[in-house]
Amino acid sequence: MRIRTPIIMAILLCAAFALCGFAQPVQPLPRVHLVTTGGTIAGGATGSLKAEDFLTLVPDLAKVARLSVEDFVNIGSSRMTPEIQFTLANRVNELWRTDPDLAGIVITHGTDSLEETAFLLDLLVPPVRPVVFAAAQRPPRETDTDGPRNLLNAVRVAASPAAREAGVLVTLNDEIHAALEVRKTHAIALDAFKSPWLGPVGYVDAGQVYLMRRPARHVTLQASTIEPRVDLLTLVAGSDGHLERAAVAAGARGLVLEVFGRGNVPGGVMDAVKDARAKGVVVVFTTRTRGGRVEVNEEARTLGVISGEDLDGLKARMLLVAAMGDTRDVATIQGYFAKLAGRTP
């Protein structure tokens, strides 16, 4: 039986439609913006790496996202200041406003003050699209550096739809942590960044992002400025208030005191707090144990002392730095701490 040419052509056309016309279009990779600030992750053998250098150092980045890059600052994070951190937060907000197609932002940072910078951004950047911090405990000049893997994972997280509305995140050692909860717990260990009481919010395994939970506690402040003159002091056996008085005399406008246990404060320190409050200095109590919630007694409440709830001293200070840019009303600031502690009115 002879098959006519028109029938053959029809069969071939159907095959072509099946292969081409109905094939799924290739989706472009998500776009991620890399912002570098220096730190150990950028500690190259012949000087600090620039943003462009990371693209060469970690070629697999191009398989995960379409990257644009930006050198913001190039400093060790022990030199980080609230002013630089605030400018970085404003830059991130500007990127969100001007680039609606941007999937996420990755920020490389030194480990010394990473938890402070990440938390300040968590307070000042709306948690719509992911901002992910990456860092390293070992510089790229060492053969066992952890920087490339941490950076690649950060880009994976920033590109992932699962990370949307999760707030600012931090990833090292294949773990993903919330900025509110994470802290540096060891000077040199690769697993130095921990969330001691709640654990990581997720992890990266075999190149896949797994977000197990979302931080339920969040505050976004509309800060037009900040108050960098906030000092953090830890009470010790024998504290008598002279350091608190010295801080106020030196120009501190806010004080965060890491007090004993649940909220115990020696009389001499309370006298110094009373004098500080009389001069308009905002005072926050948090526990020096770095775990558990502080209770402010009646005397301290009468003075207008704010309970830092369960925030550690570093994060309580950053919240005060951000909040005091717009208000010194202790009730308003106390409300921020309460919300971050998960306490409802």
Domains of the chain plus CATH, in order, are 31-211 (3.40.50.1170), 230-340 (3.40.50.40)
User: What is the model's pLDDT at position 11?
Assistant: 44
Separation between Cα atoms, residue 284 and residue 282, nearest integer Å = 7
Helical ranges in the chain per DSSP H: 5-16, 51-57, 61-64, 82-98, 114-124, 147-159, 242-249, 267-278, 298-303, 313-323, 330-340
Sign of the Cα torsion 306, 311, 317, 318 reads negative
Are 261 and 287 contacting, i.e. CB atoms less than 8 angstroms apart? yes
User: What is the model's pLDDT at position 343?
Assistant: 81
> Model's pTM, two decimal places?
0.91
Q: Which of 1-15, 56-70, 309-323 has the lowest mean pLDDT?
A: 1-15
Residues 178-187 have a mean pLDDT of: 97
Beta strands in 118-207 (DSSP E): 131-134, 168-172, 175-178, 183-184, 193-194, 202-205
User: What is the model's pLDDT at position 216?
Assistant: 82
Of the pLDDT bands very low, low, confident and very high (cuts 50, 70, 90), residue 182 is very high
Active site residues per annotation: 40
C-alpha dist (Å) from residue 75 to 49, 50, 108, 110: 11, 12, 11, 8
What's the whole-number average pLDDT of the chain? 92
Tell how far CA 242 is from the center of its chain.
34
Q: pLDDT tens, 124-149?
A: 999 999 999 999 999 998 989 999 99
Burial degree of 302 (CB within 10 A; 0-12, 13-18, 19+): exposed
Instruction: Report the phi/psi class of residue 129: left, alpha or beta, with left for phi > 0 and alpha for psi in -120 to 50.
Output: beta
**Number of residues in the chain:** 345
Residue 18 has pLDDT above 50, yes or no: no
Are 98 and 90 contacting, i.e. CB atoms less than 8 angstroms apart? no
In the chain, the amino acid numbered 59 is P
User: What is the model's pLDDT at position 234?
Assistant: 98
Residues 72-78 have a mean pLDDT of: 95
User: What is the model's pLDDT at position 44?
Assistant: 63
User: What is the model's pLDDT at position 293?
Assistant: 94
* Residue (of 23, 58, 242) closest to 140 by Cα position: 58
Beta bridge partners of 66: 31
Residue 321 has pLDDT above 50, yes or no: yes
C-alpha dist (Å) from residue 334 to 233, 247, 282: 19, 22, 11
